[in-house]
Chain A
Amino acid sequence: MLKDEELEQLYRDTFPAAARVLQRMGANLKDARDAFHDALLIYLEKTSKGAVDIRTSAKAYIVGTARIVWLNTRKDRPANHDVDTLLQQEVADYLADEDSYEESSEKSALEYLRMAGQKCMEILTSFYYLNIPLSEIATRFGFNGTRSATVQKYKCIEKIRSQLKTNKHHAHRVS
């Protein structure tokens, strides 16, 4: 995972190039920024899984991804035959997740995550999003070894799971 300074440097080096490409495709500054942020997140998620092809430079990957994101989010999107289909699929998966957030049920479900507490959120995002190994999570959060961190992670899931279930049953009763 990139350090904050490295991420800022990557932003500084890459955004103007992405903006130039997107502007030619009709994006304004705000649109270009949104597509660039999505592309940057897709890149960071890929690197945290160790899944970036080292033959491609970060800049080329992010600019190419931003271009696909922009094409996918445009309502009048043109046929798009010239792009890498694997990358196209990765962008589509990412955007499908983002669309699911727009559903109000998922927006309110995020509240249940917050109700599990700050520490749970940090542990879960460290493991499931940042792909940090549990041994390192144990050290960072002061657990007495990997096993304790593992148990705590499952307790956090248990809390959220029961909140989601309770709410679902409540919603059924109301409707």
Chain B
Amino acid sequence: MRTELAEIMQIDQYLLGKLSADESTALDAMRVIDPVFSEKIEVQQRVHRLVRLFARKQKKRKLEIMYHRLINDSSFKHQLKNIFS
């Protein structure tokens, strides 16, 4: 694996809590003493968050479609109408 990819792998495992205690402590220290490395960790953390946000947006769209399909069902619609009338 290329050096760059190996580094991404190491940071990924660090963020996912998959490194050994020793390795993790070593990265904690690097994070403090090396601002460039620290920034790389932050960027990768952001990638994880963006993936989560992207996936949630997709899933919410799917739930909206599901709602509109269900509301065409008369018994479901009737239940909601009773609640919000």
Contacts and interface: CB of A to CB of B under 8 A. Distances in A.
A130 B64 CA distance: 19
A49 B82 CA distance: 36
Q: Which 7 A-B pairs have the closest CB atoms?
A: A129-B55, A125-B55, A16-B79, A154-B8, A154-B5, A124-B51, A128-B51
A93 to B, nearest CB: 11
A71 interface: no
Contact of B67 (A11, A44, A98, A154): A11
B83 A113 contact: no
B84 A29 contact: yes
Given A16-B83, A128-B55, 4 more contacts: A12-B73, A15-B70, A41-B56, A151-B1
Contact of B43 (A40, A101, A161): A161
Contacts, number: 102
Interface of A: 7-8, 11-12, 15-16, 19-20, 23, 28-29, 33, 37, 40-41, 44, 97-98, 100-101, 106, 109-110, 112-113, 121, 124-125, 128-130, 150-151, 154-155, 157-158, 160-161, 164-165
Counting chain B CB atoms within 10 Å of each CB, the highest count among A98, A130, A158 belongs to A158
A109 B54 CA distance: 10
A115 B54 CA distance: 13
Interface string B22-38: 00000000000000000
B76 A97 contact: no
Given A151-B5, A161-B43, A113 B84 contact: no
Contacts of B18: none
B3 to A, nearest CB: 11
